[in-house]
Amino acid sequence: MSTYKGISLTSITEGARNIDNKPDKTELAINVMFIILWIFALKYIMDLEKYCKCSDNWKRDYVKYSLIVFIIFLTFKVLNHTNLINVNKYLLFFMILLNFVFTVIILVYINELKKNECKCSDTEMRTILEIVSYVRLIIMMIGLISLIYLYFKLYKLYKHVNKRR
């Protein structure tokens, strides 16, 4: 049996296989919170479409359609009590990419609205979306840095284990 610093590689792989596919209550609560937030954000974007000419550009449409995808995805996830991210790695990659692009585009869009002094877009919802987007971007960056760190740690572990064979 291979060990590294007292950790059995067999126990790590067995533990990984025993992870269930059901989201916990905290994840469900966060998903419901985001469904509600995205519904309000979608209403805000749709109101901009109707009443705010200075908000008209392709980013608004991208945000609108991304919000629809997120609402449908999260609703399906909550109603089926399943963690689709663990089920399909391609869906995981698509959602991570969509989340990142969405977050960046919404921040650029909001900054353009501010720069152009688009008064009809200046609401509490715009401020909430901006704050949530900055927090999401920070969390994504921390996650990316953590993945890179984990990759190098696992590579070092792999080299160590193979050297002993």
Contact present, 141 and 107 (Cβ < 8 Å):
no
**Triad 72, 50, 66: Cα angle to 5°:** 25
Residues 12-25: pLDDT tens digits?
444 443 355 556 78
Q: What is the DSSP letter of 123?
A: S
Encoded tokens for 11: 């126990």
The C-alpha R_g of the chain, in whole angstroms, comes to 21
What band does 112 get if pLDDT is binned at 50, 70 and 90?
very high
The confidence score (pLDDT) of residue 6 equals 55
The confidence score (pLDDT) of residue 25 equals 81
The confidence score (pLDDT) of residue 79 equals 84
- Identity of residue 91: L
Percent of the chain with pLDDT over 90: 53
Q: What is the pTM of this model?
A: 0.74
What band does 95 get if pLDDT is binned at 50, 70 and 90?
confident
The size of the chain, in residues, is 165
What band does 122 get if pLDDT is binned at 50, 70 and 90?
very high
Across the range 31-46, mean pLDDT stands at: 95
Helix 25-51 vs helix 124-164: crossing angle, to nearest 10: 140
Euclidean distance between CA atoms 120 and 88, whole angstroms:
41
